[in-house]
Amino acid sequence: MEGKKNSDYKYKKIVSAAIAFVAVFVVGVVIGQRVDGTKIASSFGKKEDVNMDMFWNVWDIVSTQYVDADKVDPEKMVTGAIKGMVNSFEDPATVFLDPEETKKFNESISGKYFEGIGAELGYSNGSVIVVSPLEGSPAKEAGIRAGDYILKIDDYELTSNDTVYDAVAKIRGDAGTKVTLTVLHKGDDEPVSIEIVRREITVSSMQLDFVGENKDIAHLKVNRFTETSLAEWERLWDSKVDEIVKAGSKKMILDLRGNPGGFFDAAVYAGDEFIDEGKIIAKERDGSGNIKEFQSSKGGKLVDIEVVVLVDEGSASASEILAGSLQQNGRAKIVGMPTYGKGTAQTVLDLADGSSLHITILKWLLPDGQNIDHDNSIKPDIEVDLTNEDFKAGVDPQLNKAIEILSI
């Protein structure tokens, strides 16, 4: 089983996948730079230093002695071996996807129409969880919530061996078909079964409205830091910022709840709008310990606006970078619940057969050097939960608290 040479890879500019998209998504940050495959390869041991005799011994045994000879499929065996190797890092964001999984992942980050339930999935404490249902999605309308543990998909009971991508494959389906998820809501003792009708979904990056008694507080809901391209996301962001400036708003709620991430460059671009020129927005650290700083460069249009940022358990990756940066630079109060905790970045390497390798290559740091992970997520200045009772009653105490702060 000879390894592919670097020339067999095409490099994509993207993704720090942290979460999976079902019409289910995988959470992440996207890297706005190319990655040198030669450097990646050279950071590991040389192939000639690895004894493969045991591998081939097992290969020969199962190939010749397995009881159901018709199930011996060399291609599947190779794929399984690769997945096992990648999974040995115990990093849910470093994964190998076969061609079909790669196709579905690419659809999920394109922003175009696709079919499913509309939810981001992640992995926490050995279980598949809902990071966030999308606004206006079948999942959210049916009652799926951020932080839900997924216990069963139809009649299939998930185990610790099931990955996020396994769950995605089982939840996906054609528009008009149904899937039943058995989930455990945060704070509940008993699971509930929720039937969801799949439909066509398009992902909207952001929406702007004006709230408060006088409708003078801009409320910008940023759902993702991705569009069909970084440039398109930046154009959409610029248009929303111009609307806020034109309206003369002096106060703003930046709503990052349920935002699983996207382009890292988009988070830096947004941060540059709020932070004075020359201040650190974020840092990155590579596998060699080298640290690169990203500083504000323009002194944007929102440097003088009063800001409250809303976050919850579904805020991950790029959204955590932006929220944490605004908090540490003294530009915003954070309201809500502690975030997901995902501060690594992946690149996606497309392989010759249509499969892909998502590999963690960087860690993102806040201005003070803090790494973002499950133990060091973004902590709100004012913690406000949105309970199951609030959800059922259609009330939003987190948004209400932000409005209260900005109305003083």
- Which residues does 69 contact at the CB level (< 8 Å), separation at least 6? none
Q: Mutual orientation of helices 318-328 and 264-274 as an angle, nearest 10°?
A: 20
- 401 pLDDT band, cuts 50/70/90, is very high
Q: What's the pLDDT at 187?
A: 82
The lowest-confidence range among 120-124, 328-332, 360-364 is 120-124
pLDDT at 18 over 70: no
To the question of pTM greater than 0.85 for the whole model, the response is: no
Q: Write down the mean pLDDT value for the chain.
A: 84
How confident is the model over 100-125, as a mean pLDDT?
Answer: 73
How confident is the model over 244-265, as a mean pLDDT?
Answer: 93
Whose tokens are 């998930």? That residue is 158
pLDDT at 52 over 50: yes
Rounded CA-CA distance 148/38 in Å is: 40
- Which residues does 385 contact at the CB level (< 8 Å), separation at least 6? 337, 397, 398
Return the structure tokens found at 85.
Answer: 């190797």
Q: How do strand 95-97 and strand 10-11 relate by DSSP bridges?
A: unpaired
The lowest-confidence range among 33-47, 110-124, 146-160 is 33-47
Give 61-88 pLDDT, tens digit per residue: 999 999 999 999 999 999 999 999 998 9
Which CATH number does the domain housing residue 240 bear?
Answer: 3.90.226.10
Q: How many domains does the chain divide into?
A: 1
How confident is the model over 4-20, as a mean pLDDT?
Answer: 33
pLDDT at 3 over 60: no
pLDDT at 203 over 70: no
* Structural domain includes residue 127: no
pLDDT at 59 over 50: yes
Nearest Cα to Cα of residue 172 among 205, 131, 139, 147: 139
- 323 pLDDT band, cuts 50/70/90, is very high
* Structural domain includes residue 316: yes
* Structural domain includes residue 167: no
- 1 pLDDT band, cuts 50/70/90, is very low
- 16 pLDDT band, cuts 50/70/90, is very low
CB 180 within 8 A of CB 194: yes
Return the structure tokens found at 56.
Answer: 């081939």
- 390 pLDDT band, cuts 50/70/90, is confident
* Structural domain includes residue 233: yes
How confident is the model over 192-196, as a mean pLDDT?
Answer: 97
* Structural domain includes residue 314: yes
pLDDT at 170 over 80: yes
CB 32 within 8 A of CB 263: yes
- Which residues does 208 contact at the CB level (< 8 Å), separation at least 6? 218, 219, 220, 221, 240, 243, 244
* Structural domain includes residue 171: no
**Domain extent at residue 275:** 206-344+363-406
How confident is the model over 331-335, as a mean pLDDT?
Answer: 98
Q: What's the pLDDT at 281?
A: 97
Q: What's the pLDDT at 266?
A: 94
Residue 210 identity? F
pLDDT at 47 over 60: yes
Q: What's the pLDDT at 30?
A: 44
Q: Phi and psi of 49, rounded to 5°?
A: -85, -5
Q: How far is CA 340 from CA 69, 118, 134, 148, 162, in A?
A: 45, 18, 16, 13, 20
Range with the largest mean pLDDT of 19-23, 255-259, 296-300 = 255-259
Rounded CA-CA distance 281/264 in Å is: 11
Rounded CA-CA distance 228/233 in Å is: 8
Q: What's the pLDDT at 42?
A: 41
Q: Phi and psi of 137, rounded to 5°?
A: -85, 160
* Structural domain includes residue 51: no
* Structural domain includes residue 187: no
How confident is the model over 347-368, as a mean pLDDT?
Answer: 91
Distance of CA 64 to the CA centre of its chain: 43
Nearest Cα to Cα of residue 358 among 115, 82, 74, 71: 82
Burial of 400 (0-12, 13-18, 19+ CB in 10 A): middle
Rounded CA-CA distance 170/156 in Å is: 9
Q: What is the DSSP code (8-state) at residue 378?
A: P
Q: How far is CA 20 from CA 52, 78, 154, 259, in A?
A: 33, 24, 19, 12
Give 223-236 pLDDT, tens digit per residue: 888 877 789 999 99
